[in-house]
Amino acid sequence: MTTAKKNSPSSVSLDRLSIGIDIGGTGTKFGIVDRNGNVLFSSEISTRGHSEVESFIDELHTQLYTLIEKAGGPGRMRGIGVGAPNGNYYTGTVEYAPNLPWKGIIPLAKLIQNKFQLPTVLTNDANAAAMGEMMYGAAKGMKDFIMITLGTGVGSGIVANGHLVLGHDGFAGELGHTITIPNGRYHVGTGKYGSLESYASATGVTATALEMLDKSDEDSLLRKIPKAKIDSKKVYEAAIENDKLAKEVFDFTGKILGMALANFVMFSSPEAIILFGGLTKAGDLILKPTREHMEENLIKIFENKVKILISHLKESDAAILGASALVWEMKD
Amino acid sequence: MTTAKKNSPSSVSLDRLSIGIDIGGTGTKFGIVDRNGNVLFSSEISTRGHSEVESFIDELHTQLYTLIEKAGGPGRMRGIGVGAPNGNYYTGTVEYAPNLPWKGIIPLAKLIQNKFQLPTVLTNDANAAAMGEMMYGAAKGMKDFIMITLGTGVGSGIVANGHLVLGHDGFAGELGHTITIPNGRYHVGTGKYGSLESYASATGVTATALEMLDKSDEDSLLRKIPKAKIDSKKVYEAAIENDKLAKEVFDFTGKILGMALANFVMFSSPEAIILFGGLTKAGDLILKPTREHMEENLIKIFENKVKILISHLKESDAAILGASALVWEMKD
């Protein structure tokens, strides 16, 4: 794969490249990316298979180094960006990540930097996603936006004045845990009640569907599925078959998400909110009530101003692009 | 008044000064301030008395120019900072401010700049207050904090990465209007339900007291006061007399405020939240439940990290200091 560029061939070959590494609970994706967001080379290793972080770093080095050499060698690399759950930008550490095999505080940026001898910067996966959107995606050219990932959980990355909002400790942007319904649904992971994540995630949609099935006698396609097998995908499939209860599940989810988004808008007044992740595949089923209820809760000065956009980055590339985008922000 | 400084006398006299103007619905305060936050000269004119903005600017010029001359003349002034309700930093305008006598969009920064021939910057009063705290007050040296003013209404100014969060349109930081109790108390000014301001303001405390008096038969000192005369001050006075119902009013207010603060923390992870304004005079009556309920709603990574501080700027100086602080951020 090569890149279409306006520069002369010689300047193309001199352009520096960026390495993006996205560490997930199951697998770790990595790739080499140019300034225009083309993933030139990419590959993946298992995260779960390495109970020790050292053996993980060793395999990462072996596999990634092959790509680096294909792409012109380490001299052409500007640096390495890493997105990881519970990643802290300031310290370069991953702290108590429940989904990673390594416990405690892991100095991941330092381990990678020492191994590759390339400057390395790390942040949490949602912040990395936001950087990817700003550099290559739906937020290109924006200085104020909020990225929300609606997957199994709800993640977020906030950009204000053109920079990630990291907070004094590097942990800003936990919008999934903001309380949207006081004394609302219990969240097993946090022990709190009524957080956005407990409603507006794949897990939340499933919980809402089960609750609605319990509370009403309404007929529904979902009643034909054993309860243990109902998930957000099944609810979606029923909703596009025009199943009333399934559609109500998305209406309810959108209502809560919309109200939460209104609150985020009144905090940082973003130009747009970018949504990413599994739930966005439900399209207008969820977007329509979300937009409606966001507007309903906004005071006049914000009405009809804030765009809700769906990320258009390829899902397979997005994680690598996000992590690699951190590199272009590095100071030399 | 002069300033105690380490510099030699000659360098003191050459130090540049900053002008702060705080425009309120009733009166406009202005003063000349040095780098250390000493208000060297100050005065006040009526806002309400000027139905035309031009006559307001004329009187402001006459009165303020006297102070400028006393302080060494216009050459010593670095610029003018203006705090005004509905003030927009990007445009320098005041837009549809319900409490000011001038309607529509007023290019206030430009009018002042032209009249005084000094660079002028304007923002809303809560943002100015935040800058004052960062420059001279409880947030000195902080790069990430949130300022909340608890007065008749609830205002806010947010600082992240050392800069005001203004949003893409200059209207960020309307935390008083975030929905804290879905379908909660009606807000006459906005037509929305359940906003923080409808509970955690002087107006909100009064409304809560009246509701509680209505709903219970409990004896209370407040029952001796005609309903129309009950206000947040009366509730405070009853509470310090150990009146059970009055104390419950503050508990309830603190509970809602604490929950809202938890949400703000999970957004921008500030080092501290600075509270300012009338309600803070209730001290631990409101602070204790606020702290408790903030902690109760925070996920683990934020627990016992965020300070809730009371502004220690003199209330008479705070508005001028805040507006003047904007000047030091100006680019030359």
Q: How many whole angstroms separate alpha carbon B200 and alpha carbon B4?
A: 39
Q: Which of A94, A145, A268 to mutate: most B Cβ within 10 Å?
A: A268
Is it the case that residue A13 has pLDDT exceeding 50?
no
CB neighbours of residue A231 within 10 Å? 15
- The pLDDT value given to residue A97: 84
Q: Which residues in chain A have their CB less than 8 angstroms from residue B264's CB?
A: 267
Q: Tell me the shortest Cα–Cα distance from A4 to chain B, in angstroms.
A: 33
Of A161, A172, A299, which has the smallest distance from its Cβ to B174's Cβ? A299
CB neighbours of residue B110 within 10 Å? 14
Phi and psi for B196 in degrees, rounded to 5? -55, -45
Rg (CA), chain B: 21
* Eight-state DSSP code of residue B242: T
Whose tokens are 């994706």? That residue is A29
Interface contact B171-A269, CB threshold 8 A: yes
Q: How confident is the model at residue A4 (pLDDT cuts 50, 70, 90)?
A: very low
Q: How many whole angstroms separate alpha carbon B136 and alpha carbon B130?
A: 10
Q: Residue B209: which of A25, A210, A306, B218 has the closest Cα? A: B218
Interface contact A267-B172, CB threshold 8 A: yes
As to burial, measured by CB atoms within 10 angstroms (0-12 exposed, 13-18 middle, 19+ buried), residue A103 is: exposed
Q: Which residues in chain B have their CB less than 8 angstroms from residue A153's CB?
A: none
Q: How confident is the model at residue A332 (pLDDT cuts 50, 70, 90)?
A: low
Q: How many whole angstroms separate alpha carbon B89 and alpha carbon A144?
A: 15
Q: Residue A184: which of A136, A256, A90 has the closest Cα? A: A256
Q: Which two tokens stand for residue B214?
A: 């209505």
**Is there a contact between A266 and B175 (Cβ–Cβ < 8 Å)?**
yes
Apex B231 CA angle, B237 and B154, nearest 5: 105
- The pLDDT value given to residue A9: 40
Cα separations in angstroms, A177 against A151, A258, A291, B195, B302? 14, 15, 21, 19, 11
- The pLDDT value given to residue A17: 96
- Give the pLDDT confidence of B25-78 residue by residue, as tens digits: 899 999 999 999 999 999 999 999 999 999 999 999 999 999 999 999 999 999
Q: How many whole angstroms separate alpha carbon B329 and alpha carbon A191?
A: 43
Q: How confident is the model at residue A314 (pLDDT cuts 50, 70, 90)?
A: confident
Q: Which two tokens stand for residue B100?
A: 């000011």
Q: How far is CA B260 from the centre of its chain?
A: 17
- Give the pLDDT confidence of A126-165 residue by residue, as tens digits: 999 999 999 999 999 999 999 999 998 999 999 999 999 9
Q: How many whole angstroms separate alpha carbon A251 and alpha carbon A244?
A: 10
Q: Which residues in chain B have their CB less than 8 angstroms from residue A144's CB?
A: 167-168, 172
The CATH fold of domain B141-311: Nucleotidyltransferase; domain 5 (3.30.420)
For residues A332 and A259, the model is more confident at: A259
Q: Which of A89, A156, A161 to mutate: most B Cβ within 10 Å?
A: A161
- Give the pLDDT confidence of A187-222 residue by residue, as tens digits: 998 999 999 999 999 999 999 999 999 999 999 999
Our CA dihedral for B137, B141, B146, B150, rounded to 10 degrees, sits at -10
Interface contact B268-A174, CB threshold 8 A: no
Segment holding B191, helix H or strand E:
none
- Give the pLDDT confidence of A65-109 residue by residue, as tens digits: 999 999 999 999 999 999 998 899 999 999 888 889 998 999 999
Interface contact A301-B270, CB threshold 8 A: no
Amino acid at site B212: M
Of B158, B182, B299, which has the smallest distance from its Cβ to A190's Cβ? B299
Tell me if residue B31 falls in helix, strand or coil: strand
Judge: domain A9-133+316-328, CATH 3.30.420.40.
yes
As to burial, measured by CB atoms within 10 angstroms (0-12 exposed, 13-18 middle, 19+ buried), residue B98 is: exposed
Q: Which residues in chain A have their CB less than 8 angstroms from residue B95's CB?
A: 301
Q: How many whole angstroms separate alpha carbon B175 and alpha carbon B198?
A: 12
Cα separations in angstroms, A108 against A73, A101, A122, B259? 22, 13, 8, 34
β pairing state of B87-88 and B17-23? unpaired
Residue span(s) of chain A under CATH 3.30.420.40 come to 9-133+316-328, 140-311
Find the mean pLDDT for residues A280-303. 96
Q: How many whole angstroms separate alpha carbon A201 and alpha carbon A195?
A: 11
CB neighbours of residue B275 within 10 Å? 22
Q: How many whole angstroms separate alpha carbon A197 and alpha carbon A216?
A: 24
Residues of chain B short of pLDDT 50, as ranges, are 1-13
Q: Locate the chain B residue with the closest alpha carbon to A193.
A: B297
Q: What is the mean pLDDT of chain A?
A: 93
Of A172, A271, A301, which has the smallest distance from its Cβ to B267's Cβ? A172
β pairing state of A87-88 and A93-95? antiparallel
Tell me if residue B78 falls in helix, strand or coil: strand
CB neighbours of residue B146 within 10 Å? 27
Q: Which two tokens stand for residue B326?
A: 């904007």
Query: Which ipTM was obtained for this model?
Result: 0.91
* Eight-state DSSP code of residue A149: E
Q: Residue B281: which of B252, B250, B304, B259 has the closest Cα? A: B250
Interface contact B165-A160, CB threshold 8 A: yes
- The pLDDT value given to residue B8: 40
Interface contact A297-B175, CB threshold 8 A: no
For residues A13 and B100, the model is more confident at: B100
Whose tokens are 């509701």? That residue is B211
Q: How far is CA B159 from the centre of its chain?
A: 14
- The pLDDT value given to residue A30: 98
- Give the pLDDT confidence of A285-294 residue by residue, as tens digits: 999 999 999 9
Residue percentage of chain A with pLDDT more than 90:
87
Residue span(s) of chain B under CATH 3.30.420.40 come to 9-133+316-328, 141-311
Q: Tell me the shortest Cα–Cα distance from B55 to chain A, in angstroms.
A: 28
Q: How many whole angstroms separate alpha carbon B20 and alpha carbon B72?
A: 16
Tell me if residue A98 falls in helix, strand or coil: coil
CATH of domain A140-311: 3.30.420.40
Give helix then strand counts, H and E, for chain A.
Answer: 9, 13
